[in-house]
Structure 1
Amino acid sequence: MKEYLKGDEWNIVEEGFNPDFNKISESIFSLGNGRFGQRANFEEFYSGESLQGNYVAGVYYPDKTKVGWWKNGYPEYFAKVLNSINWIEIDIKVGDERLDLATSKILDFKRTLHMKEGYLERQASVQLPSGKQVKIHAQRFCSIANDRLAAVQYTVTPLNFDGTIEVSLGLDGDVRNADANYDEHFWEPVTRVEQDDCRYLTMRTKKTAFDVSTAFYYRAYRNGTLFQPVAESLTREQYVGYKLQIDVREGEEITLCKIIALLSSLNVAKDDLFNESQAALASTKANSYDDLFMDHKRAWIKKWAESDLVIKGDISAQQAIRFNIFQLNQTYTGEDPRLNIGPKGFTGEKYGGATHWDTEAYCIPYYLRTADSRVAKNLLLYRYHHLQKAIENGEKLGFTDGAALYPMVTMNGEECHNEWEITFEEIHRNGSIAYAIYNYVNYTGDRRYLADYGMDVLIAIARFWKQRVNWSEEKQAYVILGVTGPNEYENNVNNNWYTNTIAIWCMKYTMEVLRELEAESPSDYQNILVRTQLDIERETGDWKQIVDRMYLPENKELGIFLQQDGFMDKEQTLVSDLDSKHRPLNQHWSWDRILRSVFIKQADVLQGLYFFEDQFDLETIRRNFDFYESRTVHESSLSPCVHAILAAKLNKEDKAYDLYFRTARLDLDDYNNDTEDGLHITSMAGTWMSVVEGFAGMRVRGNSVYFSPMLPKQWDSYSFMMNFRDIVFQVEISSEGIKVSNTNAEKDLSVHAFNRYHEVKASSQIKIVNKQ
């Protein structure tokens, strides 16, 4: 853990500069607007350890797979989110000395992420090797009011000298990915344009031929007054910009405002990119930097009004949850069904920046409850539009007749992950996609989605499970062999309980919805049979037989479900027996040692108990929780939140709080020593779930919202906003009970709390006291 950030309810503050933490801070202080994002790299040159990164949503490169040996079915490439044109550059030279915080003496330093208004600010005073001292003040934002725009305001002040400073500011397309498998340059230049006071640079990805066009103009101010410095154009093959010569006096503030437009061919036709870039910049010229900034801040105020979660009495917990919400809101806006949520968002390159099952299992619950239903629907449509690719992925592995295996990692629906034990074996991902359809329909009541889109996906997934099982004569049951469950510290196991359980559920749910549609809408039902070519009697008969006779491993003596066959053959050590010097295991132990150990990376059996809690009594959940939690090292970012929710359900307040705190501050405190690679964006949704589904006990049953609240002793109260079937309401939980405020002017809200039913009339609020 690295606890170097200051506690603050609305800000992330770093005081003093530690170069060893710089890459961590570059991740933590990242910005984005749903279309593109930027790590918190310095505007000026920095020769120290850094991961430069500007990423554009949906733009990727198929980097050739790098493996020790090839296996049938391996993807030919691993899709990489691309480090794109560097637009933040404002490089400073004082005389012959380059301003570089790695080689200068830092007199003071403060970096602040202002989450309420959505911008990054940095202040520093430095002494160059010559003894000259300068102060810098940098501020930037990626506009969410207009997702084509970004802006930088950079002020440099000489503190103890008069002289000349040289400023280079431009657009640099000569960038590379740190994670390139063969150190390949993924971009090639298309155009450089110098027109009037604007500069334009367009780069194209090799192979995928995405064009990214970035443009800017600047304004210079001396002590707040606009002036025109001596300027010359700077151009190279992949660079365009200016070099400015500015005479300065001691104490004089020189401010440079850089207004940027960033567009890609994902959203604009290539032939129109230049004109659209021109128009984007032209639209800003009647406004000042402050005007653009104010529009951006107003948009953030609206976002917080929809999604804020307030914790009173615990600053660290409050700061953490807002940080997680902030990063989620600036990563994905739901405007484009072609986009999804990479595990690192716009904050780093690890995992290729592509879509994983994290979206369905963790992110959809967050967006379902904090945004309009179309946002979550677009996440589901992303998978629907990739259904044919999922069927093709299945065919590559030998599956037939429309059986779909959704990819473990993808940008375009095609599998691009190349670790065999995950690519071929972590098939439970299919189940989370089916569960997300159920979750969406159950929460929104949008049954039209099933008829139009969802059933096609469910049927294709059920077909996969039918072909993936086999009959065991010895067990006289269906089994699923050679899988990796959610716990990736176990590979190539037989009968992973969670995988077998979710396979059963997928087939049962598919049959259940088919029956309901047949009764409710015979025409839709017939259309589904035709377009999916479903042999209803034969195929559902096969599914039912598997459901009825699937093998589920368990230990009846302990009263637990076994994570997989043979789990009890392992030496049953507990996490409490581990010396802390071995943690995290994946950075200290060999893979062989990890695989032979009992230690669990993340929720596995408990993931199933979380999804399907209504199928199990409380004591069954308790026995399994006690057994597996004590063996779980939580070295996946996705792990603590599931455990926290179950711990709260079991009334294990201290455990629930500890696990919430771990998931909430995973990146801020660098629990797993990997924040420098980028933030764990998808698990951040689990932080929100830990509070709302965990402490507040929120569930949806029928047309009502249920709460079974717990108030951690560290908190005075907590409150959050929710959107349920177009009713936006606020829930506040304190020692006095629950207050529910319905903001909808027309619709009443049905709420269950403390085992009692309540109706919250339109535009009203009620207080519910626990009478037990």
Structure 2
Amino acid sequence: MILTQQIFGIHPWKVATTELDKENRRLQESLTSLGNGYMGMRGNFEEAYSGDHHQGTYMAGVWYPDKTRVGWWKNGYPEYFGKVINALNYIYMHIYVDGEKVDLYTDELKDFDLSLDMQKGLLERSFTIVKNGKDVSVKFTRFLSIQTKELCAIKMEVTASEKTAIRVESALDGDVRNEDSNYDEMFWEFVGNSDNTLVVETIPNNFGIEQFSVAAAMHHNATGFENTGNTKDSFFVSQVFEGTADKDNTITLEKYITLTTSRDYKKEQLAEEANAIYNANVSDRSFEELLAAHAELWAQRWELADIVIGGDDEAQQGIRFNLFQLFATYYGDDERLNIGPKGFTGEKYGGATYWDTEAYGVPFYLAVTDPQVTRNLLKYRHNQLPGAFHNAQQQGLKGALYPMVTFTGVECHNEWEITFEEIHRNGAIAYAIYNYSAYTGDESYLENEGLEVLSAISRFWADRVHFSKREQAYMMHGVTGPNEYENNVNNNWYTNRIAAWVLRYTLESIAKFPAREAALEITEDEKAKWQDIVDRMYFPYDKELGVFVQHDTFLDKDLMPVEDVPASDLPLNQHWSWDKILRSCFIKQADVLQGVYLFSDEFTLEEKERNFDFYEPMTVHESSLSPCIHAILAAELGKEEKAVEMYKRTARLDLDNYNNDTEDGLHITSMTGSWLTIAEGFAGMRAKNGLHFAPFLPTDWDNYEFHINYRGRLILISVDAEGVRLDLVKGDTLTVTLYNETHELTDSVHVPLNKVAK
């Protein structure tokens, strides 16, 4: 039995509670995080809070190379571990009531309300405290603008049961530290300040990485308050506002913070640019006007990407929460950026780029955003090809090895068994190129930048394999597959499979664009070697079981289902030693099944079912990337109960804290899995050779519907008890396949519901 934790109420458009949960304050902060792709923050309070919490604010693309510290250095180790930097606290608005500081951890509360409005991208909070026999009510409204990406806007409103002196110290506080620093280091140094600005810069490093500078400018609009003083003290700049509140007099203070970084502006002009952005985009507009413009842009995103679910509010809230946090993290505006596994919600995983983007993010963004968004993700990897060459050279290998963790393309993860054994991520980079080309029909990227990447990856695989004279087959030893609960294994089936597929896809692509061979210096001997590897790659297989074997010695383990493990031992990674986990049969996430999912059209339903029934019972799903793959395969196999169970786990992984780790931050990249489960699982969407659907309706749902962008068309897919309907909202007539029958979609197509989609 999996223990979950639900601390917010169920609402289709909101994450809301009326309880200040002091025991789970960090979890509340994670679940009420905001972002706009340029910056973001955890759901911290503006006023003081002395209880346990994690003050976290982050800027996209701003990071620090922290020295790798390991007990036994090995040749090829990365010199630094890249980490996202906790930036200055710009929401700071400490409140004093009759001279006494407000602290929600210690103060008497009469009511409390906290609400993340996902429809508008808005965080609202209100509370009433009792001070000196007076009731003082405070309301905060906060958003990070997606119209003016550099803007954070906050509105505070205060009333009181009788006349009460209110003082607010509004500040920019640069004295912040990362919780994951090695020795509580300070990663920022002071550059300069003024009455309303603060400029800081990352400390010097020894790795040739640029120092990032950040400037913040704050401006205020006050009603019932007067500005009574300013303070400047290197890392701390504040302005004090004083006023009197009573039951008939609400006093308000609006705070507008504009932030600039050296990624976009010259360092010596950062403060000037921050003020200029305020003057040009904010100064002559009210809080309500700024919020309305921001909300309208969110409405446009929702119009395209929303999934509507009838009859299950938990499922509805889950998918919208995930879509909101994904778009708050990344919407493709800047090809220099990517999707960090924690986004702007925490420091775990260093905030860098993983293979999650290519394997899970690309199919999602292809369907719900403009194709340029996905193309920018592909450009990101192409731009970092030099770093991938460097990574391979560090291991004495040819070609390109894309990093497990990176900001620049150079590997910056310091666990050997992951950094240089989990090389299957190289295949995900190539698969993203294939996915983009197959979905959009646009092969211009493949012909140019794509073939550069594919040929470089293929050269790596050709050098990394080992030819076994005994078996007369190519093998790969000393790898870690997607299942990180097994390290340094031989012939991980998925790794071998995706390596052979990349070589085959590269050869097919070269044949399409033969003029590129000379430019890429691809020789006939090289192509012959790649083809030989494709033809003679070794894939572990057990004839008696009829399953692809996860790696050479997997079947030698004591095999048992997860249901035999006491519930008190789960999650395993929080209760068992690493040694015990590695020796067990338990699987962290889809491994063999990851390959069955990616190359679904290469296997029969019988093969899929045998492998699913063998591996899923041993899978603990302690990677956030795991449930969606199992949900999609279960749906295809007609296993509705399992598919819905896995959908709930991926859609509400954070909202219900399935893995007991959401207080560290949200699982951003895996949130794509909830959309993939509905679109590719429940709706049976496939887009490799034309557009195919085979929907079913979960028993507890009344209906569901969603849009996709596909080759210049906007299509609405609606499923209910009456049947399946496809509406061509925009674009030219398209041939589609529903339950293996082709239809011309000129306006709409409606067919009866096939309850078991196979």
TM-score by length of 2: 0.97
Of the candidates 260, 273, 288, which is equivalent to residue 257 of structure 2?
Answer: 260
Structure 1 residue identity aligned to 2:192: T
- 1:318 corresponds in structure 2 to 316
Residues in 2 aligned to 1:230 and 1:419: alpha-carbon distance in whole angstroms: 52
The aligned counterpart of 2:719 is 733
Output one character per residue of 1:350-393: Cα deviation in whole Å (capped at 9) or x when no partner. 00000000000000111000001000000010000001110011
Paired with 2:109 and 2:547, the residues of 1 have a C-alpha distance of 57
Counterpart check, 1:237 vs 2:234:
yes
1:288 lines up with 2:286 in the alignment: yes
Pick one of 371, 374, 377 that aligns with 1:376: 374
Q: Distance in 1 between matches of 2:87 and 2:513?
A: 47
- Aligned-partner Cα distance in 1 for 2:331–2:609: 37
**Following the alignment from structure 1 to structure 2, what is the Cα–Cα distance between the partners of residues 82 and 158?**
39
Letter in 1 for 2:324: F
Q: Over residues 604-629 of structure 1, what are the superposed CA-to-partner deviations in whole Å (9 max), with x where a residue is unaligned? A: 00000000011110000000000100
Q: Distance in 1 between matches of 2:691 and 2:720?
A: 18
Between Structure 1 and Structure 2, how many residues are aligned?
746
Using the alignment, how far apart are the partners of 1:758 and 1:271 within structure 2?
A: 61
Task: State the partner residue of 2:575.
Answer: 588
Please report the TM-score for the alignment, with normalisation by the length of structure 1: 0.95
Q: 1:198-240, CA deviations, whole angstroms, 9 ceiling, x for partnerless residues? A: x111111123311111111111123xxxxx5141001111111
Partner residue, 2:522: 534
DSSP-derived class of the 1:174 partner: coil
Letter in 2 for 1:532: L
Cα displacement (A) at 1:245: 2.6
Alpha-carbon distance between aligned partners in 2 of 1:61 and 1:132, rounded to the nearest angstrom: 47
Corresponding residue of 2:275: 278
**Stretch of structure 1 that moved more, 602-611 or 49-58:** 49-58
Matches of 1:629 and 1:106, distance apart in 2 = 47
Matched with 1:409 is 405
Q: Which amino acid aligns with 2:480?
A: T
Q: CA deviation at 1:718?
A: 0.4
Offset at 1:13?
0.9
Per-residue CA distance 1:176-197 (angstroms, 9 max, x = gap): 1111122111111112122xxx
Superposition pairs of residues 211-226 of structure 1, within 5 angstroms: 211-222=213-224
Distance 2:589 2:403 in 1: 20
Aligned residue type for 2:230: S
Local SS of the residue matching 2:595: helix
Give 1:162 deviation, angstroms: 2.9
Following the alignment from structure 1 to structure 2, what is the Cα–Cα distance between the partners of residues 233 and 588?
51
Is 1:758 the counterpart of 2:722 in the alignment?
Answer: no
Which letter does structure 1 place at the counterpart of 2:140? A
What residue is the counterpart of 1:522 in the other structure?
none
Tell me how far apart the structure 1 counterparts of residues 528 and 626 of structure 2 sit (CA, whole Å).
36
2:177 is equivalent to residue 191 of structure 1: no
Corresponding position of 1:610: 597
Say whether the 8 Å CA contact 2:624–2:650 is kept in structure 1.
Answer: yes
Q: Which runs of 5+ in 2 are unaligned?
A: 205-209
Deviation at residue 250 of structure 1 after TM alignment:
5.0
- Alpha-carbon offset, residue 251 of structure 1: 5.3
**1:452 counterpart residue number:** 448
Shift of 1:249: 3.5
**Which residue does the alignment assign to 2:636?**
649
Q: Which amino acid aligns with 2:443?
A: R
Tell me the equivalent position of 2:103: 100
Q: 2:71 is aligned with what amino acid?
A: G
What per-residue deviation string (whole Å, max 9, x for no partner) do you get for residues 548-598 of structure 1?
A: 111111111000011001111111111111110000000000001101111
Tell me which of 656, 679, 696 is aligned to 1:710. Answer: 696
For residues 230 and 666 of structure 1, the distance between their equivalents in structure 2, rounded to whole angstroms, comes to 45
- The letter of the residue matching 1:244 is F
Residue equivalent to 2:172: 171
1:84-95 aligned within 5 A: 84-95=87-98
Other-structure match for 2:502: 506
C-alpha distance in structure 2 between counterparts of 1:750 and 1:11, whole Å: 38
Single out whichever of 752-761 and 24-33 deviates more from structure 2.
752-761
Aligned to 2:750: 767
**Deviation per residue, 1:154-188 (Å, 9 max, x gap):** 122223x4342221001111111111122111111
Query: In the alignment, which of 459, 476, 494 is matched to residue 472 of structure 2?
Result: 476
- Post-superposition Cα deviations, 1:9-45, rounded to whole Å, max 9, x if no partner, equal 1111122111111101111111111100011000001
In structure 2, the residue matched to 1:182 is 183
Provide the residue aligned with 2:671 in structure 1. Answer: 684
Partners of 2:21 and 2:28 within 8 A in 1: no
Q: Secondary structure at the match of 1:607?
A: helix
Q: Which piece of structure 1 moves more, 320-329 or 182-191?
A: 182-191
Q: In the superposition, relative to structure 1, how do residues 770 and 667 fare at CA in structure 2: closer, same or farther (>3 Å)?
A: closer
Q: Which residue of 2 aligns with 1:364?
A: 362
Q: Distance in 2 between matches of 1:146 and 1:765?
A: 38
Cα contact 2:721–2:753 (8 A) shared by 1? no
1:263 deviates by 1.4
Say whether the 8 Å CA contact 2:47–2:102 is kept in structure 1.
yes
Question: What is the one-letter code of the residue matched to 1:486?
Answer: P
Alignment partner, residue 607 of structure 2: 620
Contact kept? 1:372, 1:726, Cα under 8 Å: no
Letter of the structure 2 residue corresponding to residue 38 of structure 1: M
Shift of 1:740: 1.2
CA distance in 2, matches of 1:275, 1:361: 41
- Say whether 1:397 aligns with 2:395: yes
2:486 corresponds to which letter in structure 1?
Answer: E
Q: Is the 8 A contact 1:754 1:770 kept in 2?
A: no
| 1:362/1:254 CA distance change after superposition, 3 Å | same
Aligned pairs for 1:515-534 within 5 A: 515-518=511-514, 525=515, 528-534=516-522
Q: Is the 8 A contact 1:696 1:708 kept in 2?
A: yes
Q: Is the 8 A contact 2:628 2:650 kept in 1?
A: yes
Q: Distance in 1 between matches of 2:417 and 2:512?
A: 38
Confirm or deny: 8 A CA contact 2:332 2:372 kept in the other structure: yes
1:299-314 matches, within 5 Å, as 299-314=297-312
Alpha-carbon shift at residue 532 of structure 1 (Å):
2.4
Residues 652-688 of structure 1: per-residue CA shift (max 9 Å, x gap): 0000000000010000010111101100000000110
Q: Which amino acid aligns with 2:420?
A: F
**RMSD of aligned Cα (Å):** 1.3
Equivalent position SS for 2:123: strand
Q: In the alignment, is the contact (CA less than 8 A) between 1:321 and 1:664 conserved in 2?
A: yes
> Which amino acid in 2 is paired with 1:118?
G
Q: Distance in 1 between matches of 2:357 and 2:266?
A: 29
Residue 747 of structure 1 and its aligned partner are, at CA, apart by: 1.3
SS at match of 1:700: coil
Deviates more, 1:459-468 or 1:1-10: 1-10
Conserved 8 A contact 2:480-2:492: yes
How far is 1:244 from its partner?
Answer: 2.1
SS in 2 for 1:630: helix
Aligned to 1:461: 457
Q: Is the CA contact (8 Å cut-off) linking 1:600 and 1:633 kept in structure 2?
A: yes
